[in-house]
Structures are given as structure tokens and as C-alpha cells.
Amino acid sequence: MRTIYENKFKAEVILIGQGEFAIARSPQIISTTLGSCISVCLFDPNEHVGGINHYMLPGPVMNEDESHILFSKAKYGIHSIEMLINELLKAKAKRENLMAKVFGGANMFRNNDNKINNNDNKTNNNDQATNLFSTFTVGLQNIAFAEKYLKSERIPIMAKDVGGEDARKIYFDPATGHVKLFRLNNKKKDDLINKELSYRKKVAEQEEKEKNQEKEKEITFESLADKITLW
């Protein structure tokens, strides 16, 4: 996360990336770039405060026939909206006043199979989880999760631009809830695909590391010994 000054808005812009969220008040603006990820923009129009998140995974990710869980934990996923709500409440927003706008959830990997396959050929078996991601409807799962979660929290969705194949860049005014959306060209879309693949690889590596750490905790002297003789 970083803050820059953009002349076209005559304001400071907070830039957030995957797995991050931010809240702000006017005159600051919050921006992020989305592929299959989702950003939920939440705001209280009475208190003039708002925030957005950027999550890649809704929770445990299933393959299409729901027979296999790819990740047992989704980093920066299922807790993202809850964290955003809690921070807004700390900033004096009222839960009953919160409104939402939802963006992202594109199918970034359609028509990009060659790019994904080329990237996959450069990886080893430890990156299997990353490779499998290209076949999943991650964007659709992200959209469904956001809509279901907001419904359960009774937060109305005032507007949304989700799905499709276009990458998006959004600028969110937390004081008014207004969003300016730009659809990205193919060059920027390719860059975003590479970033998403890289991020997913890091998530998979972290999952593998945590699993190995759990296995190490289970190792005992007896399990390491070839033969135990009692005297």
C-alpha cells in the first residue's frame, strides 16, 4: 500500500494491492487494479467515510466438481470484508448506514491458455496448486462470496460491475461512494495476469510451508528411530 498525488483528481490517492484494504475520508481517494479479484467498496454517506478491500480468494477453493479443496486457508480472503467493516465502525461509520459497490471477478485466463502454459512449464511440481488455478472459476466464486456475505450482513449493493473478461482499475471516493472505472487494454491485462499468477504461487508456497511445519511438530524420537530396544 502506498499513497501518491494524482493531478487529474487533484487529490492524494491510496493505492492498494492484493490482500490489502484501506479506509479514508475526503479528500483522499482509494484505487486498485482488479482481475479475477474482487473489491468491495463500503461507505457511510452520512459520516462521509469509506473503504475498499482487494481479495483474491473467498475461502477454501474447490475445483469445479467440488471434489477437492485446493487451499484449506485463503490468505486475505474470507476475513477481508469483516476486517473492512470493523475498521469503518472504528472510524465512526454506522453499520445500519453502510452501502456497498462491488467490482472485479473477471475470467482473466480465458484466451490466455498459452501464457499460462508457458508459465507452468517453468515451474516444478511444488507449483501444482498455482497451475490448477487457471482451470477454476475463481472470479465467479469471488463474486458469489461477496454478494452472499453482504446479504448476510444486510448491506445493500448499490452498484456492481463484475464478471466478463476485462481487467479493471477503479478509483473510489470514500466520502460520496462514487467510483470511476477504467477497463484496461490487453498489455495491462497481461501484466495483471502475471501478477495474479505470481501472487497465487506465493499463497501456494505459504500453504506448503505451513503444512510442513505442522508435520515437523508431529515428529517424535520414536518416529525417527529405526529400531527401539527397551532395557
**Domain boundaries in the chain?**
2-209
Q: What is the pLDDT of residues 69-99, one digit of tens each?
A: 444 333 455 788 999 999 999 999 999 999 9
Average pLDDT of the chain is 76
Please name the helix (run of DSSP H) or strand (run of DSSP E) that holds residue 88, with its range, or none: helix 80-90
DSSP class of residue 181 equals E
Work out the pLDDT band at 120, boundaries 50, 70, 90. very low
pLDDT of residue 228: 47
Top CATH class, 2-209: alpha beta
Nearest in space to 201 (alpha carbons), one of 141, 129, 101: 129
Helix (H) or strand (E) segment spanning residue 117: helix 113-121
Q: What is the pLDDT of residue 177?
A: 94
**C-alpha separations of 43 from 70, 77, 83, 91, 158 in Å:** 33, 20, 14, 11, 11
Q: Residue 50: left if φ>0, alpha if ψ -120 to 50, beta else—which one?
A: beta
Q: Of 229, 179, 158, whose CA–CA distance to 29 is shortest?
A: 179
Which of 33-42, 157-166, 200-209, 222-231 is the least confident region?
222-231
Q: Which pLDDT tens digit goes with each residue over 178-219?
A: 999 998 866 555 665 666 666 666 666 666 676 666 666 555
DSSP 9: T
% of the chain surpassing 90 pLDDT: 43
Does the pTM surpass 0.85? The reply is no
In this predicted structure, the answer to whether residue 124 has a pLDDT above a threshold of 60 is: no
Phi, psi for residue 223 in degrees, rounded to 5 = -70, -20
d(CA 25, CA 133): 36
Q: Within 10 Å of residue 139's Cβ, how many Cβ atoms?
A: 24
Q: How many residues does the chain have?
A: 231
Residue 24: CB atoms within 10 A of its CB come to: 21
d(C-alpha 178, C-alpha 101), whole Å:
9
Largest CA distance in the chain: 82
